[in-house]
Amino acid sequence: MTITLYDTKARKKRPFVPLDAKNVRMYVCGPTVYDRAHLGNARPVVVFDVLYRLLRHTYGEAHVTYVRNFTDIDDKINARAAESGRNIGEITAETTQWYLEDMAAIGALAPNQMPRATAYVGQMKEMIARLIAAGHAYEAEGHVLFAVDSWRAHYGKLSGRSVDDMIAGARVEVAPYKQNPMDFVLWKPSTDDLPGWDSPWGRGRPGWHIECSAMARALLGETFDIHGGGLDLQFPHHENEIAQSCAANHTDEMARYWLHNEMLQVEGKKMSKSLGNFFTVRDLLDKGVPGEVIRFVFLQTHYRKPMDWTEKKRAEAEKRLAGWYRKTDGVKSGVVPSRIEYLLGDDLNTAAVLDEMVRLSPAPLRAAMDLLGFPSGNEVDWFRTIAVDLTGTSASGSQGLYSRELSPYLLRWQELRNAKDFKNADKIKQQLEQAGLKLKIGTEGPHAEVLSEFDITALKEIKL
């Protein structure tokens, strides 16, 4: 199939042709781990997860490498440690795990590589040394800065700005040791109370931009296929990545395609704590919003358009997705329709894909849901409208026998499945079946059929 992607640098859609179809490589800027991921942080995760799935579908799972980093060196992390009195390592380990759990809850596959910046400081120092040797960086008062003037002919091509225009409208750090206001930090000094590493330029820590350049080079090579992230990273982060990577590696390009997703709003307004409309992915999950519903709302808007999260969209998404789950419950996945492949391959037109899926019969619909990252009905239960349905309970022809006795056990089984605690759910299921019940999950919820060998006294041995 053909994939066409909008390349920010080219400012147009381009047919995607990988450097090596047997080794398709993608890098996406990941989170700074000091707190829970808010809803806006989740949008690029879903966008590039869909692209990752499409690339695997097209080129084969074994032929795609997806790298998404963790920034665990940052002033925000240092500030959080200072105000909380906690160890920096504890904070980053905890928040990294939170992030992984929350992103898994909205259906994101784990990337092939998830490097931490602290594990690549050596590669960062090596790249900085190469930039200094090539005349693209200089030392000044314990800092090392990238010399934008040394890259002036190329700098700004991603964002479409000239250096002079950037200087005129810049809101950058003014420092006397900078040769040009646009020069950016590659290395900066650390005081004794801050994380630091020994280097030829003194004890210090890397700047933000050099992290991704070093990690991408180490894991994907000097030039790779796709670099992605939120539109807010286009300048200066991605612009600076290109400059330092190409200057250090002596290449014409860092990535062949640059993709950026637009920003997110809540009820038509920018998400902010002052407006009271700021919330994390975990906030929604804890309120009972299924992760797949969050994902559905995201996919209803094309990734290059601003997305507005509203309660109305959430409710509509839940209703529509529940209908699809009931329609495909117990159905074996079929072949992804060519029309779905075409629409998704057309610059990830997920909004059009969702509209097209309304017309699909169960097996193709289940296949399309798989491709978009929606779990099967065996993995989720929220769409089942009745928590426990005992109308099928029978013994010796009697309907409803033992309903009162069985309800607490079936309710607990359902609760564990809803919590995705399948280990304990399966344990209860096994115990109930050993007691003489036949259990199954139907469209409306769990059912229990009482077999002739049912032993009601065995229920007392089951711990809820």
Domain boundaries along the sequence of the chain: 4-261, 265-372, 394-461
Q: How far apart are CA 438 and CA 294, in angstroms?
A: 34
362 neighbors 393 (Cβ within 8 angstroms):
no
Q: In the chain, what are the helix, strand and coil shares in percent, each to the nearest 5?
A: 45, 20, 40
Mean residue pLDDT across the chain: 91
Q: What number of other Cβ atoms are within 10 A of residue 447's Cβ? A: 18
Q: Tell whether the model's pLDDT for residue 129 goes beyond 70.
A: yes
User: What's residue 395's pLDDT?
Assistant: 42
Q: What percent of the chain has pLDDT over 70?
A: 93
| pLDDT class of 385 with cuts at 50, 70, 90 | low
Enumerate residues 6+ apart whose C-beta is below 8 A from 245: 213, 216, 217, 222, 251, 254
Residue 323 in this model has a pLDDT that exceeds 50:
yes
Answer positive or negative: Cα dihedral of 202, 204, 207, 210: positive
- Nearest-angstrom CA–CA distance, 379 and 263: 30
Which tokens belong to 111?
Answer: 């990337």
Report whether pLDDT(327) > 80.
yes
The least confident of 44-58, 277-291, 361-375, 433-447 is: 433-447
The predicted model gives 289-300 an average pLDDT of 97
Helix runs in 358-402, H state only:
362-372
pLDDT beyond 50 at 104: yes
Between CA 114 and CA 175, with CA 199 as vertex, the angle to 5 degrees is 95
Indicate whether 237 pLDDT > 90.
Answer: yes
Q: Residue 396: which residues within 8 A CB-CB, separation 6 or more?
A: 452
> Taking residues 262-283, what's their average pLDDT?
90
Checking if the pLDDT of 192 tops 50, the result is yes
Write the pLDDT tens digit of every residue in 429-457: 999 999 888 888 776 677 777 776 778 78
pTM: 0.86
What are φ and ψ of residue 380, in 5° steps?
-135, 150
Mean pLDDT, range 136-158, rounded to an integer: 95
The average pLDDT across 128-153 equals 96
> Distance (Å, rounded) from C-alpha 76 to C-alpha 3?
38
Domain 4-261 in this protein, CATH class: alpha beta
Q: Rounded to a whole number, what is the distance in angstroms from the first to the last CA of the chain?
A: 51
Q: Are 228 and 5 in contact (CB under 8 A)?
A: no
Q: Give the model's confidence band at 464: pLDDT under 50 very low, under 70 low, under 90 confident, else very high.
A: confident
Q: Is the peptide bond before 364 cis (omega within 30 degrees of 0)?
A: no
Which amino acid is located at 245 in the chain? S
